[in-house]
Amino acid sequence: MFLSLPASCSRSVRVHKLIDGIGINFSSDSIVTRSPSNQNMLRMKFVGFKMIFIIALSLMGSVVNSKETSEFKLPPNFNPTRYELDINTYLEDKFMFEGLATIFVTCIEATNTIVLHSNSLNIDNESVSVIDTFGFLFPVNSTYSDPNKDLMYVSSTEKFKPGDKYVLTIPFSGNITDQLAGYYKSSYVDKESNQTRWLAVTQFEPADARRAFPCFDEPEYKATFKIFLGHKKGLTSISNMKFMKQINCSLKPDYVIDEFEESVPMSTYLVAYMVSDFVYTETNSGYDQVKFRIISRKDAVNQTKFAINVGPKVLKYYEDYFDEKFPLQKQDMAAIPDFSAGAMENWGLVTYRETELLIDPDVATIYNVHGVAEVIAHELAHQWFGNLVTMKWWTDLWLNEGFATYVAARGVDYLYPEWNSFQVETVQNFLRVLDLDSLQSSHPVSVAVGHPDEIAQIFDTISYTKGSYLLHMMNTFLGEDTFKQGIRNYIHKHKFANAEQDDLWSSLTEEAHRQGTLDKNLTVKQIMDTWTLQTGYPVLNVVRNYSAGTVTLSQERYLTNKSNGTNNKSCWWIPITMTTSKDFNQTNAKSWLNCENNNLTTPLAKDNEWVIYNMQIAGLYRVLYDTRNWMSIISTLNDPTKYETIPMLNRVQLIFDSLSFSQVGDLDYEITFQLLKYLKHEKEYAPWLAAFHGLAPINNLLKRTPNHAMFQNYMQRMLSSVYSKFGNMNGQTEGFEKINFKNIVTAEACGHQIKNCTQQALDLFRKWMKTIDPDNNNILPIELKPVIYCQALKCGGVDEWNFLWERYQRSNLGHEKESILYALGCSSRKLLLQRYLNWSLDKSIIRKQDAYTVFYSVAKNDAGFSVAKDFLYRKIADISKYYRPRGDHVGRYVNVIGSQMKTKEELGEIQTFIDISSGHLKGADLVINQTIETIKRNTEWTSKFSNTIVNYMVQ
């Protein structure tokens, strides 16, 4: 049902001209006067229109691979060129919107029906109209929707003709929901008045623009957008483009309508708008080309300084890196109290979860500061990769997300070179990708998708992190100059349009051949398709013949579940780099191991002590050596005067690979634990990070078993030397890497029950509890607050829990609230944890965006695992309903429980649960399959190693 405003409060001039017989000049998509001969027809058609206004969000929208046929894909019969959106927003009393979408389209193929997207919208079918090239009403005989496919059909008794242009006008309305998708509501409590304030904001990625207005909701259908937003006085509206003017409503004096400039061509998923009472901070950085604003609730204005400083600088860095000016006149960045993801790159209006944009540097950890800088850099990188050049279909999502992840790391490194964060992120990405992509149930970087539910599932480690690492790998084997110029050529060629993976390969190949950095007989496509079109990654097998003085290289796909066997058909173009000396700097590929040459034997001097492949982990692959070579490497590592002759990044790979190979039975655990002994003189953060990451599965699989105490003892001995350097929690530590080093060592020490660590945390926390005004006088060391919070609640009781919960309720800092939420799940009191989980599904207590954080923290807690599992089993229907329409969110709940299971009985238990609950797990197929495979892997490890591994942990 439509709620109307008086005509004087609408853009009535335009509509009245249509009623009075005004036609369309299709060459410019603007409205011009024509003969009034069709006046009566137009008046009859439009007489039922109720004036409305719309508000638009921004994200993605579509459903299928452009290379495949799908019932969810729009037929290629029409091309939209321009949208005019009039939207009126009602907050507080009605929480709904109503609007009029005027869509200028060109017919591509003859048809009787216009097909577009609509989801959960109320369409005034009787008032839908089409105007033809001559300004006459085109006969519409039926308008109907298919809610199962998100499709809307506008049919005519006459055929639309190829080449002709039409104007489709659709009145609609919808609810402003709390689903964190489409056009949704958020709220906060104003400190001064203690009143709840409401706002409405859009989130359209991956396929939710159709929830806000009828549209061609696929990324390939780029168009310009002219947006008008109606709202109550006292509120403000913002959208992608600059504000132009505001019109008062003479017959409804408490409403106004805001007009915005017409946009550049963009996909529907990037449309964005918001109505709120937020305030803004504007930059005075001197970067005059683009007006930069941070938009937030007024109580958080003091947390915007960091973002307003970082944003313009990183935008300018990208302009130089891509050699392409930012095409808009303004860039708003808005902090939203309720936000499903971390941030969204809408052109000209980037929206963020508060924790990813707002920060108080005086009380934030270095991890928080780095995180905000990285997310800002990520979203602004999208303005080129994603917004200016957009993938044709979600199959190539990685072109957006992989590039933004890779370039963001470079952007942060440019802003803060003293952090050495690019190298740290390289290590983190390497560890993350190798874990997930070793599952049979992983997926290719470039992955076919059909149903809209499938799109959301691929916003994962593969698209983001593996995509990023493959770009890093290309940079190393092509060289920085070739890579950067190839990217520039790609952007210049495809700007304001769409592109596919092959377009990127073509630009890089042309530049590589021009600069001579790639053999003329080789193309980037030939190499990189092996990395993006097939699942997984290779292990490089290195076997030396010491008597003959040769080395033989071969490859196969690396899988952590050996019961699945190996896929000998998989092969990659592997860039080969190696050394037998101290020269680890040659990261450009000197040779390639490929499908045609997959068993390569080359000379290697007999007297070489060891050989190491994959210099500086420039390639995304593991390396498995023969036993003698491993022992030679271990001999060097265990010599405190020689271990640094192997560079830090290669030490990272040696640690992580050896632990992973032992986990699947390819390398004896005795060799791995011999290698790990060298850590007693390791001084760098990244190798320890790799060790903790690689040992975590052992800890996980020995939990709740008699042998876990033995592992705890091993970790205590292993940590003793390095913890002695960081043991004083109040000690000062400077520098990004050193602080992260101290944090991770302290967390591991407390987690493995080193008494000094646990007692310090509890003593400091209880001292804080006794301070006057603890909210403004937090005496805990800033960088270690998350560790101390968790340990204090684990060892404490109800008083500690209630004290920290009160701090959560009083805090105005997003990062602090996030740390507290996680720590509250660390309690050992099961009744507290049960209540806490129940609260997580109550939006009046804990924001919807934070519900999974609560569940995750409880589930990862030794005392909370069974509580969380029981909660999941009992509440699956409620959890599924809570997260609709995002089924992938529900899958994460199953995954965090399943990943900790390790017996056949547990596998059967959760499989039964999944079968019974299948109706509540729609849209989570990918993560469910990965969960089942992970449990099978855990079961296999448990049967082989759980009782024998303790023999190798005795030093």
Query: How does DSSP classify residue 465?
Result: I
Give the containing element (helix H, strand E) for 351: strand 349-353
d(CA 58, CA 241): 12
319 is in an annotated binding site: no
d(CA 304, CA 296): 8
Task: Name the H helices within 460-589.
Answer: 461, 467-478, 480-494, 501-515, 524-532
Q: Which amino acid is at 318?
A: Y
Tell me whether residue 184 is exposed, middle or buried, using C-beta atoms within 10 angstroms of its C-beta: 0 to 12, 13 to 18, 19 or more: buried
- Bridge partners (DSSP) of residue 224 are 82
Exposure class string for 542-562: b at 16+ Cβ within 10 A, else e: bebeeeeeebbbbbbbbbbbe
Q: Let me know: does 199 contact 273? Beta carbons within 8 Å.
A: no
The sign of the torsion formed by the CA atoms of 134, 137, 139, 142 equals: positive
Query: How does DSSP classify residue 466?
Result: I
382 is in an annotated binding site: yes
Q: Is 379 a catalytic residue?
A: yes
- Bridge partners (DSSP) of residue 335 are 352
Backbone dihedral angles phi then psi of residue 750, each to the nearest 5 degrees: -70, -40
**Residues shown for the chain:** 955
How far apart, in Å, do the first and last CA atoms of the chain sit?
75
Contacts of 639 by beta carbon, 8 Å cutoff, 6+ apart: none
Give the containing element (helix H, strand E) for 945: helix 925-945
Catalytic residue among 84, 98, 345, 379: 379
d(CA 102, CA 82): 8
Give the strand pairing for 349-353 and 343-344: antiparallel
Q: Let me know: does 28 contact 17? Beta carbons within 8 Å.
A: no
Q: Which amino acid is at 687?
A: P
Tokens 């919107």 locate to 97
* Residue in 658, 110, 784, 740 with CA at minimum distance from that of residue 423: 740
889 is in an annotated binding site: no
Q: Let me know: does 131 contact 85? Beta carbons within 8 Å.
A: no
The sign of the torsion formed by the CA atoms of 530, 470, 444, 659 equals: positive
> How many other β-carbons are positioned within 10 Å of the β-carbon of residue 145?
18
Contacts of 653 by beta carbon, 8 Å cutoff, 6+ apart: 430, 614, 617, 622, 623, 690
d(CA 308, CA 291): 11
d(CA 275, CA 61): 22
Exposure class string for 287-317: b at 16+ Cβ within 10 A, else e: beebebbbbbbeebeebbebbbebbbbbbeb
Distances (CA, A) of 403 to 50, 370, 379, 421, 533: 45, 19, 11, 17, 17
Q: Let me know: does 411 contact 375? Beta carbons within 8 Å.
A: no
d(CA 476, CA 18): 59
d(CA 712, CA 699): 8
Give the containing element (helix H, strand E) for 739: helix 736-751
To the nearest 10°, report the CA torsion of 465, 467, 469, 472.
Answer: -140
Contacts of 568 by beta carbon, 8 Å cutoff, 6+ apart: 556
Contacts of 344 by beta carbon, 8 Å cutoff, 6+ apart: 58, 59, 203, 205, 272, 350, 351, 352, 379
**Which residue numbers are catalytic?**
379
Report the binding-site residues. Answer: 378, 382, 401
Where is the binding site for Zn(2+), in residues?
A: 378, 382, 401
